[in-house]
Amino acid sequence: MIAPRAAPSRDQAEAVRAFLGAGNTVVVADDFNRGSDYLAAIGATIRFGAGNLSSLDRAYETPTAPFGFPAPGAPVVANLTQVIFDRPVAVLGGDPVLETSRLSWIDADGSGRIEPGEPLGRFTLAAGEPVGGGRVVALGDASLFINAMDRVRGGDNRAFLDHLLGERSVLVVEQGLSRTVDADGMINTILWVQGKTILILAIAALALIGVVLLFRRNFSGERDTWTR
């Protein structure tokens, strides 16, 4: 689930809980504001924080690109060095998987500097917890799955996603509540076509009939010319 737009309905939440009950893993990535509602509905206790999570240990000039370092005892990231995040939020609760350094803070006023009253310390960027026989993993950055972040230099982003998802025999990307449904470009076109199969077939059939009629008309005209 990438950046849920809304909390799931009762039926949707029950379906996810049944999925977890079969021993599966649900990954929820969000840095907007509805991820916590989704987590609560599926029975998880992890929540997403708010505010600009910033760090002096960062990948670029901007403090909102913090490094996520493997948390002690987290097996999924045992062989990784660091993962680069882009404007993440803190993840609250659960068992930490990736954390910032202690030189990190919630930049409440967006100044890019540590101001009096802004909490300073180590924050969780990814966490997991067992839920209903399965496992829920929460990532405080929905952009980890875009190509630019997947291939970013200086971070083990691709290896992290491979460790997290690659061992699964089947990977299902939710396309009902996910914000990817609203994405511009090719993905939006593909999703629209998937949802309009009957309409597309009808349009194709009408177009084919039109081509056949046009061909017969042209062929008949040519035959009359030959006759004359």
Query: pLDDT tens-digit profile of 43-96?
Result: 999 999 988 899 999 988 889 999 999 999 888 888 899 999 999 999 999 999
**Structural domain includes residue 37:** yes
Q: Which residue has the higher pLDDT, 73 or 129?
A: 129
Arithmetic mean of pLDDT, 125-135: 94
At 112, list the tokens: 């890019």
Same domain, 173 and 213: no
What percent of the chain stands above pLDDT 90? 43
**Structural domain includes residue 149:** yes
**Structural domain includes residue 79:** yes
The residue among 181, 134, 157, 150 whose CA lies nearest residue 27 is 134
The pTM score is 0.75
Same domain, 76 and 159: yes
**Structural domain includes residue 1:** no
Q: Which domain holds residue 38?
A: 10-178
Please report, for residues 66, 72, 90, 164, the alpha-carbon distance to residue 87 in angstroms, rounded to integers and kept in the order given: 8, 23, 10, 21
**Structural domain includes residue 215:** yes
What does the pLDDT read at residue 168? 58
Same domain, 36 and 71: yes
* Angstrom distance (rounded) from CA 7 to CA 37: 5
What does the pLDDT read at residue 54? 93
Same domain, 46 and 80: yes
Same domain, 59 and 165: yes
* In contact, 17 and 50? CB cutoff 8 Å: no
Same domain, 73 and 172: yes
* In contact, 64 and 87? CB cutoff 8 Å: yes
**Structural domain includes residue 184:** no
Structural domains of the chain, count? 2
What does the pLDDT read at residue 186? 40
**Structural domain includes residue 183:** no
The β-bridge partners of 131 are 134
* Angstrom distance (rounded) from CA 8 to CA 38: 6
Same domain, 217 and 117: no
183-225 tens-digit pLDDT:
554 444 444 444 444 455 555 556 666 555 665 655 555 545 4
Same domain, 126 and 213: no
Same domain, 82 and 22: yes
**Structural domain includes residue 3:** no
> What pLDDT band is residue 27 in, cutting at 50, 70 and 90?
very high
Same domain, 103 and 210: no
Same domain, 210 and 145: no
Please report, for residues 82, 83, 215, 217, the alpha-carbon distance to residue 57 in angstroms, rounded to integers and kept in the order given: 11, 12, 68, 72
What does the pLDDT read at residue 196? 46
Same domain, 202 and 160: no
Would the pLDDT of 162 be above 70?
yes
